[in-house]
Structure 1
Amino acid sequence: MQSDNRSQHPPLPEGLHRSNYIRLRTIIWLRWAAVFGQLTALFVAERYYNLRLEVGLFYLVIGASVLANLIAMFVFPENRRLSERENFFMVLFDLLQLGALLFLAGGLNNPFSILIVGPVAVSAAVLSTRSTILLGLITVLIASGLTQAYYPLRTELGYILRIPEIFVFGTWAAVTIAVIFLGVYVRRIALDANAMSEAFQAAQLALSREQKLTDLGGVVAAAAHELGTPLATIKLVSSELIDEFPEGSEAREDIALIASQADRCRDILRSMGRAGKDDLYLRQAPVTTVVQDAVSPHLDRGKTLHFLQESNDGTEQPEIYRKPEIIHGLRNLVQNAVDFSRANVWVETHWNAETVTIRIQDDGGGFPPSMIGRIGDPFMRRRSNAKLRAKNTAYEGMGLGLFIAKTLLERTGAELAFANGPARTRLPGDGPQRSGALVIVRWPIADIAVDKSEGRTPLGQNILITS
């Protein structure tokens, strides 16, 4: 089985991200809007349609919402982020308040009874599954109670406004179905949106980290360039001075130490600046060089990497920019191949006048067939119990690394395709066989190649300087 294992941090508990997004100010303003709507409906029903209502009880129930809002405004800061528990009780209060209003206004005979499913939809979007199920059950219980117990709606002449029992049952069934359907529907949409949001954040962090490493390498390369001359001078002077002192003398040993330390500084700067790409002529390179940069961290991980570079139509190898998106994306794909290969990984680079194509394949078990259509999308496989979660706290099976690679590469104009190689048909002793996962990354040449009109030209052959 081949999946991805990039992150080293355990997933946060469900609902932690969503519920902590809600500000108290948002709840307060929504509740003020609900109070305004309830007062408007009460005014129209009483003055325009002349319904006989328990106005005092209505004002008492609506006043409870007003009082709750005032307490929240004056006791707590409006920019406070509500916790899961606080959000649950906020939604529960609004649900009970709406149920009380329906109790005073005809129960399920009231056309506004469908509004009782609103709090469940809100809960499904921002709260945990447990809270949503609990609120859904409370909603169904309230709707069931409103079919039997309620203050009837009366006209000015005392006539009771009541719909047939079959319609009351139909309204109850509609509320129940709406609670279940909307709860599940909104829940699934919220989970997908939340997973995608977190995955995009992870991709942005990965890109930011790669950019910082690239910038740091540029700084080191610049330092190595600037320090090269004084280090060379120290080396030259020490080499000349060392001949002035006899073997075994203390001064000769000191000069030899200075020369060796200068060499050491040169080697350190050279190794640190190897990744430096800030030089104008190093920001762009042949495509195979960029691929080698991306693959280099995985060369010594115990697997054999096979490289192939060829032109499909005889055109010259294109030069591309060393974009962090390309390097990090290809690095993730190669890491995935190395992690799940048996012993071999193939990295092929092909180009022609129209496209640049990179094929990454291994000799492992390949992608699970049931997941081929979902590769590149973030998904989460939940573990069955706490013991299994404790054994592996990584994002196993989330596809997060592949999502990051796909997202970053697509930003540069690439198209990605995922597939599996043919089944193993030869014996293990017959040599490596490409039976594992296959990832094809293809760019239009116009999207990735360096524009020669920008002024970059070959440096040409070095000319010997003569005096």
Structure 2
Amino acid sequence: MMQTILAYRSAPEAHLRHLVFIRFLVIGGLWLAIVGNLLFFTLPLATAPVVATLGALTLVNVLTWLRINKSLPVTDIELFIQLLLDVCCLSILLYYSGGANNPLISYLLVPICLAAATLTTRLVWFVTLLCLTIYTLLLFFHIEQPLLSPHQHHSHTTDTLNFHILGMWAIFSVSALLISYFVNRMANNLRTQSDWLKQRNEEEMRDEQLMAVATLAAGTAHELGTPLSTIKLLLHEMQQDAENQAFKDDLVILSTQVEQCSSILKQLVTKADQQFNGELLAVPVRLFCQSIIDQWKLMRPEVNSRLTWNSPDNGLQAVFDPTIKQAILNLLHNAADANPDNVAVEIEWDNLKMRWQIDDDGPGIPQSLQEQLGKAFVTTKGKGLGIGFFLTNATVNRHGGEIKLFSRSPHGTRTELTVPLTGQLND
């Protein structure tokens, strides 16, 4: 998802790119018209100022194309100036080629439409009034071209189309196509911008929630040290005083779980320091996955699970953020909470990604909660706090991964986790 956001361009830059593309098409058509007139029609055209104006516009467009490929930002004012250049150059060309009688006059609608689709209200009205003023002046001030007159015919028949009629049709067709293309692209840019802003807002809300949870977790981890030490001391004394062997066995299990909690807290601090200092090292993918399974089985000895390796132990190594391990553990715990009697885990990887598939025989996900999962404080467990899957989903997304949940038949849930691998090194 973040890749899509990074590909997002600013709206003015995208608009200017489209304008440059349209301008290249129009300039190419005008150059062909000038060459065609010189070779076939020989209109009494003031070639020097027309060629100079069109050459200047061509140079501006080439420089603009080079400019927008730089890292400098594009502003609405720059786009406004570009449209003014188009209008001014077009006005000069029309003055030397028949003024308002030239069918090319209809192209003045294109800058107006582009301004209306991209600029602020004040700038739009400026462009519109400028085009209306130029059109009005060209009615009276221009160099006449008899061949482009509305009443000039090539023959004496009453049904013969003249250059004015054909030109009006051609310019209308080109203008319609360009306006449709540009306005449609502008609408797509606006939708992309809206989606980008919406995604950014959702990410900011998620980050705020994550920060709140992380702050609480850090404080809780700090406070848990003292009660865990007290519990370990009491369990040790109870083991020494206990006479019933079954009771002693239960105390051993409790001691193991408490030691596991203490180990997790210590690893939390150690891994946080390593991540902060950039000291994370590449580890074999198979060893990383096996350590997760071993820790999960130690924490959930009551679970009856099946493990399938779908990739060979080829020595592939990768750098894993410590939070990825905790995210996978959370998914395994969710499956065990749903039904500890039958949990199937399949693991596979290649040079690009690692994939986990976790199947459970629990009650499944209620239809009413399927669209809300992944949000904070939404849970399918009556005793849950609703932050486990939220943290897991946020962690995996932050590292470019994805989690998918599917309902199994006749009951149960399939969880698919995909995480990109980074820093791969084959032994």
Q: TM bucket by the smaller chain? A: 0.3 to 0.5
* Structure 2 length-normalised TM: 0.44
Q: Which has the higher contact order (CA 8 A, sep 6+)?
A: 1
* Structure 1 length-normalised TM: 0.41
Q: Write 1 or 2 for the structure with the bigger share of helix.
A: 2
